Structure 1
Amino acid sequence: MPQRRSHVSSSATRSGLAAALAALRESSEVPLEFPPEALAEAETSTATAPELDLRDVPFATLDPAGSRDLDQAFHLARAGTGYTVRYAIADVPGFVVPGGAVDAEARRRGQTLYAADGSIPLHPRALSEDRASLLANVDRPALVWTFDLDEAASVQDFRLERALIRSRAQLEYVTTQQALDRGDDGPAALLPEIGARRLEQERSRGGASLNLPDEEVVQGADGAYSIERRSPLPVEEWNAQLSLMTGMAAAAVMLDAGIGVLRTMPEPDDAAFTTFRHQTVALGRPWTSGTYGEYLRQLDRADPVTLPVLEAAASLFRGAGYVIFDGAPPENTVQAAIGAPYAHATAPLRRLVDRWSLVICLAASSGAPVPEWARASLPELPALMQESGQRASRLNSTTINTVEAALLVPLIGTTIEATVIELRGERASVQIADPAVTATAPVPADVKPGDLVRLQVVNADIAAAEVEFAV
């Protein structure tokens, strides 16, 4: 599915959109500013200097262009017929004082929120975008996972240590993909090789990746907002495999220690699989053999019917949540889409729960007791993360709906074509190609997913983030 971007062009519409987005950010349920005591603490708290010095290892980061909250850095090397992967995570536990002002505010926020006109961070920017971030060419304490992989990139051994590191390069996805396509040498040169083998490991576990196209509101240099919809680049999928590998290692450490927090998701039931099979037949892309993960991997991303198939497959990826344990392991330990126990442990600058995972893993790896503050507060995490996840989902969906309404204002009274993605009674989720808008609309009774329908744009209300269509 090619990248597509639709712009809001009219100055009057842009003015109304800017006002609506500003109001949305102000009403995000999370304060835009941090308490003075949290800001002061973020400026002065200092992580203990690690004994292990890995500054001679040329780590690099890989993130969207312009990012400053850099959670992870990697170093990839050959080791005989296999590989050594070092994966460094920002030492947020070293900077955040348990029970302090930053800790209290982070528990209130749960995760970084992303609005169209800027982020609302989990931690003060002095930490998340500076002192704790793995920025290039500065010394940083980090929690470093070292993986020994065989020639198939299967994990043979791993360890976790606190270390001082120095990232040498801040890479971004687009230019890194271009460099890899050219065959250039560089910090990410082994990423396609290791990433492809890790994807094969995922397949052998029975895992599945949905990889829906990203839908993101972006602001151009001229201040104009647009919606960008694109499929993830291969380098993003390869990079994600390093994070997944680390999350599985963290889950294994916590299960062995008898205490921790897992990210779980149940296997879809027979009814869900049956429904999805019927949907793939209706879309003309029947799932007839293999696992659902294998079927999804085989879809042609350039095929316009792939998007409706992926939207239908989203029903198989539901029910994810956080499960804590202290003593006996939980009844369900597996994240079904990954095909293994898994924990969130690689984004502590942006997600609250990762700090607990890292603290527990570090204690278990070093033979130390889990800090009492982490053990005592563990039961709070599922509710805190669920609440913050709902906030993030509401903000994201309302932001996109607001921009989509602005994109459709010039088309009020006109007729447009849309592709039916999913039927919902007498209405359907539809995808408009130009402008790039996903919406709910009434459709004729005889349509099926994948069909083209003609709709009249009746109204588009930017302030209410609503659009209205007629057949």
Structure 2
Amino acid sequence: MPPVVIRTHATGGDFGRLRAEFELPESFTARALAEAEAAAIDPIDAGAREDATDLPLVTIDPPGAKDLDQAMLLERTATGFLVHYAIADLAAFVAPGGPVDAEARRRGQTLYLPDGNVPLHPPVLSEGAASLLPGEIRPAVLWTVETDHLGELRDVHVRRALVRSTGQFDYETVQAAIDDGTEHPSVAVLPELGRLRRELAVRRGAVELQLPEQEISADPGGGWALARRPRTDVDAWNAEISLLTGMAAASIMIDHKVGVLRTLPDPDAEAVSWLRRSAYALGVEWDAASSVSEFLSRLDPQAPESLALYADTTRLLRGAGYTAFDGELPELTTHAGIGGSYAHVTAPIRRLVDRFATEVCLAVSAGRAVPGWVRSALAGLPDLMSASDLLASKVEHSCIDQVEAWILAERIGGTFDAVVLRAEESRAEVLIEDPPVVAKCAGERLPEGARIRARLTAVDVAKRKVSFERVGS
């Protein structure tokens, strides 16, 4: 059954004031644009490339996406699975130390706003020459990852190649095709491999939160639509292919003691004990032998008590960052949310660090020295990316807050069904079910996971704030 999507529409409004508040760049410098346009016509020679244009690769992205980083082909073998994963090769278009490189280092990542993104690279590259658009021959970094019949990583091979995507799909289209048995041959084994990788993730202790995402889209009638969309199976399986590649990249860098990892410390024992107490208070069974990962994997994502526990579990996932190293392994090389070592290498169009981590893997896998421009940048990448991640998070939440305020501006005094996500002494964080809004709600004794009625008491559109209070007891 497809996920239920609740859409609520808001009229008017743009995000210009928000862009100004966060001082988001409106354009690229003339020098960066000129360099990008030249590189789009005449890419940089990054060395020999394998001709892999015969591989029937396909992309899976949100509807309408143009900045396509990844294309895949999955195959079953006699002993397991073979993943061909082509990643856009930005080194073919971005000269180290040049104007585009300088702009990318300043931005850190692409920022997505409902009325248009703030790209990491000029659109002539990100949505054109570098993007793995269907039917176009593109320079790529081609990962071939071999697993056993259980989905465990066995071997990895990475090199530069020329590729040609044969089809562009979105998550819902692929999900529908899998459900009715008409899936594309290139992703026919995605459900099987995806499920196996999810099972391995649970055994590794990976922590996955299935809180439904709030999604903003343009309304054809004008204004904006806000939706609460649970993640489909294809979303999860597709993410597992990216995670598999990132874990393979991390293993390469750790083996050669140079690179940059995405890291997150393990939660302390008291944090886990606190979550167990929360489960007990909500009446959710959690046997002593089950890990956090195993417990979360058994929850019903639609149940209100599950939503409360997912919200509580975010406290276990604090301290994420980037760890660079060169010559000596750092103390922390793992990511608690993934249950192993992991590196960002699969989204170089949209995220700066991926280009550098990829160059490390290409060099050491070929027995070559890591390029000087990469090595000299490693130490500064963690701070740069952490600042960029923080800005991206603030922009995303501010956009959602703004649309929520627009939607609710004319409904002050109305009452709504809600689920309590997090409780404090005299207020709580609640999920309003329709429209799909997360907000603060005043009231005594609001138990987590409870369904309540909430009255909208105030809306400040300029400050992007909405306030509720509990109705009844």
User: Structure 1 length as normaliser, TM-score?
Assistant: 0.95
Matched ranges for 1:111-260 at <5 A = 111-186=109-184, 187-260=186-259
Matched ranges for 1:54-453 at <5 A = 54-186=52-184, 187-289=186-288, 290-444=290-444, 446-453=445-452
Greater mean alpha carbon deviation, residues 86-95 or residues 216-225: 216-225
Q: Per the alignment, in what secondary structure is the counterpart of residue 118 of structure 1? A: coil
* One-letter code aligned to 2:145: F
* One-letter code aligned to 1:131: A
User: Within the alignment, does 1:36 sit opposite 2:30 as a pair?
Assistant: yes
Rounded to whole Å, the distance in 2 between the matches of 1:427 and 1:214 is 23
Unaligned 5+ residue runs, structure 2? none
- C-alpha contact (below 8 Å) 1:34/1:124 kept by paired residues: yes
- C-alpha contact (below 8 Å) 1:217/1:228 kept by paired residues: yes
TM-superposed CA distance for 1:2, in Å, is 4.5
- C-alpha contact (below 8 Å) 1:406/1:461 kept by paired residues: no
Q: Root-mean-square deviation (CA), in Å?
A: 1.5
Q: Per the alignment, in what secondary structure is the counterpart of residue 168 of structure 1? A: strand
TM-superposed CA distance for 1:129, in Å, is 0.7
- C-alpha contact (below 8 Å) 2:305/2:450 kept by paired residues: no
Q: Per the alignment, in what secondary structure is the counterpart of residue 409 of structure 2? A: helix
Per-residue Cα deviation, 1:381-414 (whole angstroms, up to 9, x for no partner) = 1111111111111111111111111121221123
Greater mean alpha carbon deviation, residues 320-329 or residues 220-229: 220-229
TM-superposed CA distance for 1:185, in Å, is 4.1
Rounded to whole Å, the distance in 2 between the matches of 1:320 and 1:176 is 31
Rounded to whole Å, the distance in 2 between the matches of 1:51 and 1:218 is 39
Rounded to whole Å, the distance in 1 between the matches of 2:6 and 2:17 is 24
- C-alpha contact (below 8 Å) 1:60/1:170 kept by paired residues: yes
- C-alpha contact (below 8 Å) 2:304/2:450 kept by paired residues: no
TM-superposed CA distance for 1:86, in Å, is 0.6
Rounded to whole Å, the distance in 2 between the matches of 1:298 and 1:145 is 33
Rounded to whole Å, the distance in 1 between the matches of 2:79 and 2:222 is 51
Rounded to whole Å, the distance in 2 between the matches of 1:448 and 1:51 is 59
- C-alpha contact (below 8 Å) 2:439/2:468 kept by paired residues: no
State the partner residue of 1:24.
18
Rounded to whole Å, the distance in 2 between the matches of 1:58 and 1:2 is 30
- C-alpha contact (below 8 Å) 2:420/2:431 kept by paired residues: yes
* Number of matched pairs: 463
* One-letter code aligned to 1:259: V
- C-alpha contact (below 8 Å) 1:5/1:436 kept by paired residues: yes
* One-letter code aligned to 2:248: A
State the partner residue of 2:463.
464
- C-alpha contact (below 8 Å) 1:7/1:224 kept by paired residues: no
* One-letter code aligned to 2:280: V
TM-superposed CA distance for 1:284, in Å, is 2.0
User: Within the alignment, does 1:4 sit opposite 2:9 as a pair?
Assistant: no
- C-alpha contact (below 8 Å) 1:259/1:360 kept by paired residues: yes
- C-alpha contact (below 8 Å) 2:9/2:223 kept by paired residues: yes
Distance change in 2, residues 1:368/1:197 (3 Å): same
Per-residue Cα deviation, 1:241-299 (whole angstroms, up to 9, x for no partner) = 11001111111111122111011111110110011111112222132241111111111
TM-superposed CA distance for 1:158, in Å, is 1.0
TM-superposed CA distance for 1:8, in Å, is 2.9
Identity %: 44
2:51 to 50, 53, 57: 53
Rounded to whole Å, the distance in 2 between the matches of 1:232 and 1:466 is 27
State the partner residue of 2:454.
455
Q: Per the alignment, in what secondary structure is the counterpart of residue 332 of structure 2? A: coil
Greater mean alpha carbon deviation, residues 240-249 or residues 179-188: 179-188
TM-superposed CA distance for 1:206, in Å, is 2.2
TM-superposed CA distance for 1:415, in Å, is 3.0
TM-superposed CA distance for 1:115, in Å, is 1.0
Rounded to whole Å, the distance in 1 between the matches of 2:207 and 2:135 is 37
* One-letter code aligned to 1:388: S
Rounded to whole Å, the distance in 2 between the matches of 1:231 and 1:417 is 18
- C-alpha contact (below 8 Å) 2:58/2:165 kept by paired residues: yes
TM-superposed CA distance for 1:453, in Å, is 3.2
TM-superposed CA distance for 1:120, in Å, is 0.7
Q: Per the alignment, in what secondary structure is the counterpart of residue 163 of structure 1? A: strand
Q: Per the alignment, in what secondary structure is the counterpart of residue 120 of structure 1? A: coil
TM-superposed CA distance for 1:24, in Å, is 1.0
Rounded to whole Å, the distance in 1 between the matches of 2:453 and 2:202 is 40
- C-alpha contact (below 8 Å) 1:150/1:156 kept by paired residues: yes
Rounded to whole Å, the distance in 2 between the matches of 1:182 and 1:81 is 28
* One-letter code aligned to 2:5: R
User: Structure 2 length as normaliser, TM-score?
Assistant: 0.95
Rounded to whole Å, the distance in 1 between the matches of 2:457 and 2:199 is 48
TM-superposed CA distance for 1:456, in Å, is 2.7
Q: Per the alignment, in what secondary structure is the counterpart of residue 410 of structure 1? A: coil
